[in-house]
Amino acid sequence: MKTIHLKLNDKIAYFELFEKEAPITCQRLLDILPQKIDIHYAKFAGQEIFGVLPMMAPIEGGKSLNEIDQGCVAFYPDRAFFCIYYGALQDEEVSITVIGQLRADPDFIGEMEKCRFRQGDILEIYDPDAASRAYEPHKFLIDTKMSWTKLPDDIRHVFEKRGIALPGGPIIYSDGESRKLADLVYTMYLSALNGEEYGKDFIARLLDYCAFKIGGWCGMTDCAEDVLRYKELLLDGRHDPKEVLVDFVYWVNRMSMWIDLLIPWEDVTELMRRPNDIVPNF
């Protein structure tokens, strides 16, 4: 069985690739390797790490979390996430494509668990049998300041603001807005695949609203301008909407994951576990 190697903070592991069970997804993964992804920790699922890959694939033999084994390696098409479910899982309604089974020693498992408190560590994914080539980040269709490898300046600027509820207010709010935009763009992509059409005025209104929330409210003006650039590509009639929407999916999830890295999720969780007397009585 073919194996794909993983490297996380000098710890090495691999996973067995399930090419027969998920041929499309596995081939598309092989086509883009090697990859480097910054690691994020699950907010709902339990002991899971994940990161964004620049690839799209249909669900193949979709599984929910109560149907998978510990050590499951999966792809989540809705957000273009590469996922490793390595331990105890919690409730989350999700449909994933299982692409492999992790084979890792306790040291590697320990490094994954540290990401719960130290999001942003880099996971390298590579095919040991393929010809050696350098990692090349995805190049977006638009002229953007969004980067795969460096926190964008406008997001950094918002994070560095100080004031009443700053930077927490705009950062946490923009996390929600970016997730909503990611869901919207993926829904538009599925609609395009199915040959469904929406009025241009409706699409423009939706994306104008998203740009206003991200730029006008949260202050991430470069990101807002990019949303409007994608709107122009979708509406100008000269570009394949499916191609634009695939790129838009990559872009919005890259933005969303940059914002996610700035939120100390474990600290927030501990604050919310304080005694119930902090909750106002109504």
Same domain, 7 and 116: yes
- As a whole number, mean pLDDT of residues 16-27 equals 98
> In percent, how much of the chain has pLDDT > 90?
88
Same domain, 98 and 20: yes
d(CA 257, CA 250): 11
Asked if residue 140 is part of any domain, the answer here is no
- Cβ neighbours, 10 Å, residue 140: 19
pLDDT in tens, 140-181: 999 999 999 999 999 999 999 999 999 999 999 999 999 999
pLDDT in tens, 221-268: 999 999 999 999 999 989 999 999 999 999 999 999 999 999 999 999
How much is the pLDDT for 243? 97
Same domain, 18 and 120: yes
Q: What is the CATH number of the domain that holds 7?
A: 2.40.100.20
Same domain, 80 and 179: no
d(CA 57, CA 245): 13
- As a whole number, mean pLDDT of residues 193-203 equals 91
Asked if residue 147 is part of any domain, the answer here is no
Contact in structure between 125 and 6 (CB atoms under 8 Å): yes
Same domain, 168 and 86: no
pTM of the full structure: 0.95
Q: Which of 85, 108, 126 is the last residue of a domain?
A: 126
Number of domain units in the chain:
2
| Residue whose tokens read 């194996």 | 3
* 278 pLDDT above the threshold of 90: no
34 cis-preceded (ω within 30 degrees of 0): yes
Asked if residue 205 is part of any domain, the answer here is yes
d(CA 94, CA 78): 10
Residue 198: give the domain boundaries: 153-267
